[in-house]
């Protein structure tokens, strides 16, 4: 049986490049579907479950980490590889501790994708070899107190709202998207400000970009 993969990245050139590599070098791996944002990845996963999901960490509408969290809530055994341009330890640590089985750096993803998919499919973790000074075992075995990390107390819905604010949506648009009242959005924004101690929208946008919740 071939390994079925879903690719989620908002750049079609990235998806096309990875598909080309897989088609040329890995007869045991097929791309079961591809999408350009996190919400579409969740919808596709419902219709066409895959063995492995490759998710870009920063996508519009719903980023890769949030999409991963929802996939894992549906299926704790879901195997997910995060695709990212960031090679810093905090970002890698955040992804692996959130449940990612692999982490690929975009710059070298074409070189590593086949090995990553086979490793994760067989129950192992995979980290791009281009990342230096970071060991998976060190991250997974080290003690971790999420409450000490800024923003870790945000709920899933609050993180989504932060992403949409950073992407330029107004309160009415966000309320319409979630089918909730403007007052509820106001309450969410107030809670977000208190939890992050961020009270200006420009600072909230900077926070969202820095944390990989959204990209400009």
Mean pLDDT by 10 residues, the chain (216 residues): 95 95 95 95 95 94 91 94 89 88 94 96 91 66 48 77 92 90 87 87 89 78
Q: Are 161 and 187 in contact (CB under 8 A)?
A: no
* Pair (69, 114) in one structural domain: yes
Domain with 167, as residue range(s), is 148-210
For residue 140, the model assigns a pLDDT of: 66
At 71-122, the pLDDT tens digits run: 999 999 999 999 999 888 888 888 988 899 999 999 999 999 999 999 999 9
The CATH number linked to 156 is 1.10.10.10
pTM tops 0.85, yes or no: no
For residue 51, the model assigns a pLDDT of: 97
Question: Is 173 within the bounds of a domain?
Answer: yes
Nearest alpha-carbon partner for 82 in 70, 92, 71, 72 = 92
In order, the DSSP letters of 64-93 are: HHHHHHHHHHH-TT-EEEEEES---HHHHH
For residue 12, the model assigns a pLDDT of: 94
Question: Is 216 within the bounds of a domain?
Answer: no
Dmax (CA) for the chain in angstroms is 53
Helix (H, G, I), strand (E, B), or coil: what is residue 51? coil
The CATH number linked to 51 is 3.40.50.2300
For residue 94, the model assigns a pLDDT of: 86
For residue 148, the model assigns a pLDDT of: 43
Give me the number of domains the chain comprises.
2
Q: Are 52 and 80 in contact (CB under 8 A)?
A: yes
CA angle 175, 179, 184 (to 5 degrees): 50
* Pair (34, 114) in one structural domain: yes
* Pair (162, 116) in one structural domain: no
* Pair (16, 107) in one structural domain: yes
Residue ending a domain, choose from 90, 106, 141: 141
């Amino acid at each position: 049986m071939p390994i079925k993969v879903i690719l989620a990245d908002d750049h079609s050139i990235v998806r096309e490049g990875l598909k080309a590599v897989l088609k040329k070098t890995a007869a045991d791996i097929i791309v079961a579907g591809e999408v350009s944002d996190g919400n579409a990845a969740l919808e596709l996963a419902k219709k066409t479950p895959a063995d492995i999901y490759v998710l870009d960490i920063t996508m519009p509408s719903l980023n890769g980490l949030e999409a991963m969290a929802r996939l894992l809530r549906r299926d704790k055994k879901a195997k997910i590889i995060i695709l990212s341009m960031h090679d810093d330890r905090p970002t890698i640590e955040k992804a692996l501790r959130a449940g990612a089985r692999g982490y690929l750096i975009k710059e070298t993803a074409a070189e590593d994708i086949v090995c990553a998919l086979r490793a994760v499919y067989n129950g192992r973790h995979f980290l791009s070899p281009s990342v230096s000074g970071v060991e998976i075992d060190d991250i997974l075995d080290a003690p971790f107190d999420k409450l000490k990390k800024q923003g870790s107390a945000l709920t899933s819905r609050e993180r989504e709202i932060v992403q949409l604010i950073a992407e330029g949506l107004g309160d009415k648009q966000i309320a319409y998207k979630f089918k909730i009242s403007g007052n509820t959005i106001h309450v969410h924004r107030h809670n977000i400000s208190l939890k992050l101690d961020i009270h200006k929208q420009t600072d909230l946008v900077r926070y969202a970009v820095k944390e990989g919740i959204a990209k400009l």
